[in-house]
Structure 1
């Protein structure tokens, strides 16, 4: 929204001596012409704008009009920019851009370069290399629906591929293990449900609104789900992955470019499919019943390719 951008520009100019129109345009992902129109609107609102010509010139607010307010440390601003940048990688929108611009406006001019370097040292990008191109659009639309308490409708395919049509009150978006989930109240099921966004198609934000219910967020996986510890032998090419999943204390060298891994494992399709994706770089040494189930699934896969 334009009013949000105007407020953000004012906050930046209050903190800086001057900023070029091209720099402001880059911050808000608009054209310099749009910035000049915004500056004219700010000036007409009674905030005294000063323009400085030349190579080192720019746009500023009359010095006598400013009140200095330094509420955040360099570390605070760096953390805020890192977090907002990770959200912007997945969710586009003017509100995120405006928030980033406001935070950047809090940076003392002499520390701009330092903070930009520090905030760029950690990049959290959840966007897939290829993946579902509709996902980002769905995230944007669900966020709009949540902000306006509006219903959403979509087609949903469960874990076994069975399709259904749903109408849902959206309450929460969750990113877990690189997958996005929607938590909401399903009208047809008359209960709260969790939907994986990669299984959603044809999502629409409806005109109908709802009165928010008492929402008690549930964990994405039942707390009583049985977890066993597997003993795996892996190739060195999987070491980095296992360090992320299990921690260094559970990844032990065993010679010949191999590692023994003590792996927390949930006995379900997701868990078995994760092991099978590692191919011949990973062998399950035990427990015996998990190894036997892996053999059964591998034989089933082999039969698909060897059969008619």
Structure 2
């Protein structure tokens, strides 16, 4: 514990011009006397610590003193700091913040970052992510209610293995004790998440990368063709960017979207209906009929009785 404190103090002094003993004592929850002893140890280790007197006095490193920068270039450091900063804010991880301070000592001063990463999502309960990460690290079994793609609500118990951020959403991968197999759950569909005191042994082995693979695309892929009006171009491009697109003189656009079993793809129907009158399905005809039926059923909810 003392060694960790000493290392953290060194990086703190490297990143700040002057730090008072009282500030250090409060941060590391020790007495000022202990801080003074720690400073003596740091000096004995060869670090050029300078003591500043006065109301704004404290301790700092000698001007120009920096750690060896040969291991990481400025680009590497800036990128790592950006990613870690986002992780630190999402998970409220003090260790990540400590790593950021250490990286800042080898970075180029006053260098503006050319990268920004935001891993937060308003659709996920902010308390769930830190709890699930704790469960992964401490190997706690997690219980929760889950609504699947078929709108079926079940209660699950799982051994969490890995958190995964993709397509703007957080997922958790692990061994589902309820189904007795590995599953991936979307956090927005998880409710009443509970970390139980029960633990599991670290026996999980990965045979593939977590996430969707091309193996899910079978011979049932069919092309969905939609005509997008000028008022829905931006939203359609956000949803279907990497597809065949053709723009027309009137400002509209035709999209050809390859979809695995489009008549069964509830996610596709949700997206298409979200465009409102801004998009029309041209092919396949059966998908047009399905959307028409859904719209008629929706209209019935708003009929005046």
TM-score, length-normalised on structure 2? 0.79
Query: Aligned residue for 1:123?
Result: 116
1:231 matches 2:225: yes
CA 220–136 in structure 1, closer or farther in 2 if over 3 Å, else same: farther
Any gaps of 5 or more consecutive residues in structure 1?
Answer: 26-30
Larger relative contact order (Cα-Cα within 8 Å, sequence gap ≥ 6): 1
CA 287–175 in structure 1, closer or farther in 2 if over 3 Å, else same: same
Q: Which has the larger radius of gyration?
A: 2
**Deviations 1:34-59 (Å, cap 9, x if unpaired)?**
24867955652411242335799763
Separation in 1, partners of 2:184, 2:2: 35
Query: Aligned residue for 2:83?
Result: 83
Q: Is the 8 A contact 1:167 1:188 kept in 2?
A: yes
Query: Aligned residue for 2:51?
Result: 51
Q: Is the 8 A contact 1:50 1:62 kept in 2?
A: yes
Separation in 1, partners of 2:18, 2:152: 55
Q: Is the 8 A contact 1:6 1:42 kept in 2?
A: no
Q: Is the 8 A contact 1:151 1:168 kept in 2?
A: yes
1:203 matches 2:193: yes
Aligned pairs for 1:1-308 (under 5 A) are 7-14=7-14, 18-21=16-19, 34-35=26-27, 41=34, 43-45=36-38, 46-48=41-43, 49-53=49-53, 59-61=59-61, 68-107=68-107, 111-114=108-111, 117-118=112-113, 121-129=114-122, 131-132=123-124, 135-212=125-202, 213-217=204-208, 219-220=211-212, 223-224=216-217, 226-247=220-241, 250-266=244-260, 267=262, 268-306=265-303, 308=305
Shift of 1:274: 0.9
CA 78–69 in structure 1, closer or farther in 2 if over 3 Å, else same: closer
Separation in 2, partners of 1:10, 1:70: 19
**Deviations 1:188-231 (Å, cap 9, x if unpaired)?**
32221222211222222222221123343554476135443322
**Deviations 1:86-145 (Å, cap 9, x if unpaired)?**
3234322212212222211222xxx3211xx22xx432224335x34xx22111011111
Q: Is the 8 A contact 1:246 1:262 kept in 2?
A: no
Query: Aligned residue for 1:28?
Result: none
Q: Is the 8 A contact 1:85 1:123 kept in 2?
A: no
SS of residue in 1 equivalent to 2:87: helix
SS of residue in 2 equivalent to 1:113: coil
SS of residue in 2 equivalent to 1:21: coil
CA RMSD of aligned residues (A): 3.5
Separation in 1, partners of 2:176, 2:223: 36
Q: Is the 8 A contact 2:18 2:59 kept in 1?
A: yes
Separation in 1, partners of 2:53, 2:246: 64
Separation in 2, partners of 1:137, 1:265: 35
Any gaps of 5 or more consecutive residues in structure 2?
Answer: 44-48
**Deviations 1:146-165 (Å, cap 9, x if unpaired)?**
11222122222333443332
Q: Is the 8 A contact 2:85 2:97 kept in 1?
A: no
**Number of residues of Structure 1 aligned to a counterpart in Structure 2:** 289
Shift of 1:176: 2.0
**Deviations 1:8-57 (Å, cap 9, x if unpaired)?**
4423535x5x52439xx9xxxxx776248679556524112423357997
User: More helix per residue: 1 or 2?
Assistant: 1
SS of residue in 2 equivalent to 1:294: helix
Shift of 1:259: 1.8
